[in-house]
Amino acid sequence: MKGKYFMNGFGPGFLLDTFKKHMKEWDFYYYQPKSGRYDFITHYLHLKKMRKDELSRFDILHCNVWSNMTNMVPNQRQVGIAHWHGFSIGLNSKNSLKHSQFFSHLFGTILNRIVENKIISSVKKYDIVYAAIPSILPTLKYIRKDAQWLPNPINTDIFNPTGEKIQLEGNPIILFPTRLHKVKSPEFGFKIFSKIKEKCPSAKLHLVKYPKRFSQYGRYKSFFETYKDDIIWHNFFPRNDLPKLYRSADLVLGSFWQGVLSLVELEAMACGTAVVCNDQWEIIKKKNSQLPNLALKLIKNVKFRESFIKKCTQYVHTTHSEHNVCLQHLLNIKNAQIKKGITHGKKN
């Protein structure tokens, strides 16, 4: 008999797809409100209502939204998973607010004072505590010493070096698929392209168009004007075409603000493409000021480039592969069940 697995959250749908594929012994129920990403009140009230009866029928409660961790506390017959996906208020307000604007600072500070202790108290009642990115794990360990990093899974059956490519203009081809918003610090990516352009006159920068509400194109008007003949814009690519896009680039530029590898960067690495981004925790481990020289070396030094790509690709296929992530996750669930004396929610 399959166990019943409940997940909630605004963003981790990719986790659900991975778990469904590799965890056949579980039936999954995923609640995601139709309301906007920041309308957490609707989400909170719905789960508060569910808490009274519906949630008790599940064997696993997997909470991906910090504001609902007080509503999804597991009982003795359930395994509870608290999963942190970023700098969340109630966990690390300093980092959470560092990259926000003034009113977000103020709102976050007030909200943090109100809910932090309650959320921390609730997290201590969960059986498994995950950090989705390694940068928040040290802070999370202040709350739970047994907190773990569960790497974000990458489908290496699709994202791998073998396969088709797309004909793109440029020599070298520089792909910068990150949305151009100040929180992503894209100006560092522009500096890298400028440095490459000085040495490689035929270089082209390929950018992806995002909806205006997600980007701030006006902030970078000067750069766009300076390099208007060297920039090629693309509309959104269907997900199935992303591996072709990544394989076609000589260099992929990622995010330069948070210091961790995003899904885009991991997918590009898995495809055997050189990636330059602000990764302080996993494999690149260089400061933003060092990245222009790294990028130029990857373009100019073939031997170094091949070694760098091999190291990054192997790392992603080992640490972030869906198969390995799910094996780690299933083992953690099994250990939690043994500790509580339950199997799929039933006492042994």
Quick one: pLDDT at residue 345? 47
**What is the pLDDT, as a whole number, of residue 42?**
65
The whole-number pLDDT of residue 97 equals 44
**Dihedral over alpha carbons 174, 177, 181, 185 (to 10 degrees):** -50
Q: Identity (one letter) of the amino acid at 264? A: V
Reported as a single tens digit per residue, the pLDDT across 16-52 is 999 999 999 999 998 765 544 445 566 667 677 777 6
Q: Are 178 and 254 in contact (CB under 8 A)?
A: yes
Supply the pLDDT for residue 296.
97
All domains in the chain, ordered by first residue: 3-153+321-347 (3.40.50.2000), 173-319 (3.40.50.2000)
- The rounded radius of gyration (Å) of the Cα atoms in the chain is 22
Q: What is the pLDDT of residue 212?
A: 72
pLDDT by 10-residue block (mean), the chain, 348 residues: 87 85 94 54 68 84 81 90 70 44 60 71 91 89 92 96 95 93 87 97 94 77 94 89 96 89 96 96 93 97 98 98 98 96 62
What residue type is assigned to position 44 of the chain? Y
**How does pLDDT run across 87-113, given as a tens digit for each residue?**
544 444 444 444 445 555 566 567 666
Q: What is the pTM of this model?
A: 0.86
Question: HEC states along 83-136?
Answer: EECCCCCCCCHHHHHHCCCHHHHHHHHHHHHHHHHHHHHHHCCCCEEEECCHHH
What are the start-end ranges of the E strands in the chain? 3-8, 26-31, 60-63, 79-84, 128-131, 148-149, 173-176, 204-208, 231-234, 251-253, 275-276, 342-343, 346-347
C-alpha dist (Å) from residue 315 to 45, 94, 178, 332: 41, 31, 22, 22
* Alpha helix (H) residue ranges in 200-280: 221-226, 242-248, 263-270
What pLDDT score does 106 carry?
64
